[in-house]
């Protein structure tokens, strides 16, 4: 490489660096594009979301029929519903309605099934603040204790008293952050005992002696 080519290469490299620094330096005098969330937003972020935004799922339990259409529609099985007979009324009631929001992919199939074939008890909200220390805190339990009677839907589904969107999801999330670690640890202890019992039964030899040769 001759001297002229060498100097040209150095000049090109210097120009490239200066151009990059000029772009960087120009941003020091521009208004910031991002804003500090949530302190400096003009209005609540939930009001700025698109109309069809899909946030956390929630269930309005007082209009849930327990039909399990949402559970069957979920392609990844993140909804769990249990029914049992209420000893007081001798009628079917719900003892469990859990949604694992850490597993949910927000596809909306459960909402569609409930909205078109039932009362619309399950729906996406505009709640989105899902920061949690562990995935255990993202299991929303809409029946924390006891039994919930099944809602009997009217013939005209337009008469179903659908409430405000959001409060049920917020309550479930607060409950999950507060109660889930202890509750899930108790469930895991039960599961471990059942697993050990099953393994013990599988490892035990079948009763009776083997066939003897003549």
Euclidean distance between CA atoms 62 and 56, whole angstroms: 19
Would you list the DSSP string of 51-98?
TT----EEE-GGG-----HHHHH-TT--EEEEEEE-TTT-SEEEEEEE
The rounded distance, in Å, linking the Cα atoms of 42 and 80 is 39
Note the pLDDT of residue 23.
Answer: 86
Burial category of 157 from C-beta neighbours within 10 Å (exposed 0-12, middle 13-18, buried 19 and up): middle
Exposed, middle or buried by CB within 10 Å (0-12, 13-18, 19+), for 187? exposed
pLDDT value of residue 208: 52
- Give the architecture (CATH level 2) of 57-194: 2-Layer Sandwich (3.30)
Rounded CA Rg of the chain: 29
C-beta neighbour count of 197 within 10 angstroms:
10
Strands 79-85 and 139-141: unpaired
Distance, in Å, from the CA atom of 197 to the CA atom of 40, rounded to the nearest integer, reads 56
Q: List Cα–Cα distances, 160 to 118, 123, 131, in angstroms.
A: 10, 14, 33
The per-residue pLDDT for 122 is: 96
**Token pair 């700025």: residue:** 48
Looking at the DSSP bridge assignments, the partners of residue 94 are: 83, 148
Q: Please, what are the averages of pLDDT over each run of 10 residues along the chain (214 residues)?
A: 82 90 86 74 82 94 95 95 93 95 95 92 92 88 93 89 91 89 75 84 62 44
Cβ-Cβ contacts under 8 Å for 119 (sequence gap 6 or more): 63, 64, 65, 151, 153, 157, 160, 162
pTM greater than 0.75 = no
């Amino acid at each position: 490489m001759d001297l002229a080519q060498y100097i040209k290469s150095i000049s090109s490299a210097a120009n490239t660096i200066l151009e990059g620094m000029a772009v960087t330096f120009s941003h020091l005098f521009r208004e910031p594009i991002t804003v500090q969330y949530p302190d400096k937003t003009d209005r609540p972020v939930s009001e700025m979301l698109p109309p069809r935004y899909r946030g956390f799922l929630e269930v309005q339990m007082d209009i849930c029929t327990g039909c399990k259409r949402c559970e069957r529609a979920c392609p990844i099985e993140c909804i769990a519903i249990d029914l049992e007979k209420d000893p007081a009324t001798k009628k079917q009631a719900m003892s469990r309605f859990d949604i694992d929001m850490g597993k949910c992919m927000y596809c909306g199939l459960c909402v569609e099934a409930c909205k078109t074939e039932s009362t619309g008890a399950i729906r996406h909200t505009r709640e989105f603040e899902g920061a949690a220390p562990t995935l255990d805190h993202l299991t929303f339990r809409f029946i924390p204790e006891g039994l919930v009677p099944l809602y009997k839907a009217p013939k005209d589904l337009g008469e179903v008293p659908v409430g405000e969107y959001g409060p049920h999801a917020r309550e479930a999330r607060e409950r999950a952050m507060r109660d889930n670690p202890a509750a899930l640890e108790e469930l895991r202890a039960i599961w471990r005992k059942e697993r050990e019992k099953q393994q013990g039964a599988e490892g035990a030899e079948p009763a009776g002696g083997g066939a003897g040769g003549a």
